Structure formats: structure tokens, C-alpha cells
Amino acid sequence: MNEIIDGKKFSQTLRTKVKSYVHIIKERYGVTPGLAVILVGEDPASQVYVRNKGKQSLEVGMNSYEYKLDASTSSDVLLSLIEKLNNDVNVHGILCQLPLPDHLNEKAVINSIDPKKDVDGFHISNVGLLNTGQKSMIPCTPLGCLLLLKDRLGDLSGKNAVIVGRSNIVGKPMANLLLQENCTVTIAHSRTENIETICAQADIIVAAVGRPEMIKREWVKPGATVIDVGINRVTKNIDGYEKTTLVGDVCFTDMAGLVAGLTPVPGGVGPMTIACLLANTVTACYRSQDLSDPEFT
């Protein structure tokens, strides 16, 4: 079987499903899912992300609302915009692009979003709901990883999963999702002792530490499935030239002939994140009309 887990192709299939759910709710209920994205400041990477989110929303037939605010925007102005969007029936999802400028309190801003419209799944209510196995908004990157894993492996029950990285955005929600799938879950991190031995026992590794090519061949059990969330820009000598290139947290070339499945960087988890954002927005829209959740698995 092909080792490569093609996230780009899978995300296209997911977007097609999203598009058909958008079509159904428009036709039957006269409601168009709408995603509002707020960008404060001019961070170049964030500008690219926000542009892609808007473009892909339109491509699946949703409405896209973009709010570009000056880097000096006050907390009051930002919070009143969020309140306005919370009360707008045409807006089903709200995303405030992170990081925010230093003078803004990220936690307060996120927690001011209506949890039902929190398509990032970062609101403390959604974190608590996911943690206790209740219906919530699920953070997009871990959701994307889970969809790829289920597609490749089917039932995950009883698998030994090791997550490398304990961030609120990926590591912790990923652990909760895999627990719900009846995996035995370990979260390893920068202070973990014998991390290599722990990883080498895993049926599933999710690497989300942001350390270029940290996970080497000796860390991985033959036949394991490896999901690489890392996107690291590094300088490499390629054919005698110094070039900047993207690598994951996993040493890709080390995995050849060893793993059952591996996501490449780029083209693995990355494309899944925006597709899951669109999926979450459609889910929020269906819930707003008291309809049952769309199915994306």
C-alpha cells in the first residue's frame, strides 16, 4: 500500500462534501452558511491564511466576511465587532486570526466569541465540552488529523497513540479526540524522559512540536502510522545550493519502507485545516437551524 497519506487529495474530497451540505441548506432552508474572519495587523503569514480562508469559503458556496483591522485597534473596538458578529444571524462562524498584537488579550478575545460560532474550537466552553466527550466545536487541525487517521486505519479502538507536543491548539485536543476513539493515549513533550522509547511503542504518532525533523527512524515502530503537523522553514544544502524549504517534525526520508502511513509536508495536514474550518462553519450553520450535524467521516 502507498505509505503517503495525501492530505491535499483528501481535503478536496472534504470540500466537495462541504459544498454539497452548503447546497442542501441553501436550497431547503434558504440559509447560506457565513464565515467571518478577523485579522488584526499586517502579519504576512496571517494575511495569506486569511485570504485562503475567504477564497475557499466562496468556492464552496458560503458567504465570507473579512474584517481587516489596524494593528493598533483597541480591545474595546475588537470586542464590539465580535459582539456585533455574535448577534448577526447571517454569520455562523467567527474566527479571529492569531497571533494578536501584544496589547490585546488573546484569551479574553477568544472567550468573547459565541461558543456556537467558535469554529476554531478555542473557546473555553468548547475546550471543556470536548474534554468531557460532549458535542462541541472541534479545533480544525486535530479534526483534520483524526479524519486522515480514520480514513487510513478505520477503527482506532485499542491503538497505542503517542502525541508529541502539548499545545492547546493541537496536542491536548488531539489527545481528547483519540481517547474518544478508544485509543490508549500518551502526550510526550520537551521534558519527557525516554521520549524515543515511548514513541517507538506507538501504533499512531502525531507530531506537533515545531522542531524540524526531530522524529527519526529509530523512534518509529515498523508499521506505525505517522501524522506530521509540523511546518518548519529551514535552510538546506540542495545540489550545492543553500535553499529554504519546508520540513515537518518527522524526518521524512527516514520513514521510507518503515511506516504504514505518513503525511508529507507540505501536502499532508496543512490542507486539511482550512477544509475542516469550512466543515465546522457548515456544522455551526446546521446547528443554528436545529438540524442534525452533517457527516464528514
- Distance from C-alpha of 201 to C-alpha of 64, rounded to nearest angstrom: 44
Q: Closer to ligand GUN at the Cβ: 96 or 175? A: 96
Note the maximum CA span of the chain.
60
Residue 53 bears catalytic tag: yes
3-state percent breakdown (helix, strand, coil) of the chain, nearest 5: 40, 20, 40
- Distance from C-alpha of 44 to C-alpha of 65, rounded to nearest angstrom: 19
Residue nearest to ligand GUN (CB): 98
Which residue type sits at 82?
I
- Distance from C-alpha of 273 to C-alpha of 282, rounded to nearest angstrom: 14
> Cell 475588537 belongs to which residue?
78
Minimum distance of ligand GUN from residue 23's CB (angstroms): 26
Cell output for 116: 456556537
Residue 290 bears catalytic tag: no
Selecting among 56, 117, 118, 120, the annotated active-site residue is 120
Q: Closer to ligand GUN at the Cβ: 140 or 199? A: 140
- Distance from C-alpha of 7 to C-alpha of 148, rounded to nearest angstrom: 7
Selecting among 17, 53, 117, 159, the annotated active-site residue is 53
Minimum distance of ligand GUN from residue 109's CB (angstroms): 10
**Opening angle at CA 278, ends 118 and 2, nearest 5:** 125
Q: Which of 144, 141, 135, 169 is nearest to 284 (CA)?
A: 135
Q: Closer to ligand GUN at the Cβ: 103 or 243? A: 103
Selecting among 17, 56, 97, 117, the annotated active-site residue is 97
Q: Closer to ligand GUN at the Cβ: 31 or 148? A: 148
SS3 144: helix
Q: Closer to ligand GUN at the Cβ: 99 or 223? A: 99
Q: Closer to ligand GUN at the Cβ: 98 or 200? A: 98
- Distance from C-alpha of 184 to C-alpha of 112, rounded to nearest angstrom: 34
Residue 180 bears catalytic tag: no
- b/e 145-160 (16+ beta carbons within 10 angstroms → b): bbbbbeebeeebeebb
- Distance from C-alpha of 229 to C-alpha of 208, rounded to nearest angstrom: 5
Interface residues with ligand GUN (CB under 6 A) are 95-98, 120, 140
> Cell 447546497 belongs to which residue?
23
Minimum distance of ligand GUN from residue 274's CB (angstroms): 9
Q: Which residues are catalytic?
A: 53, 97, 120
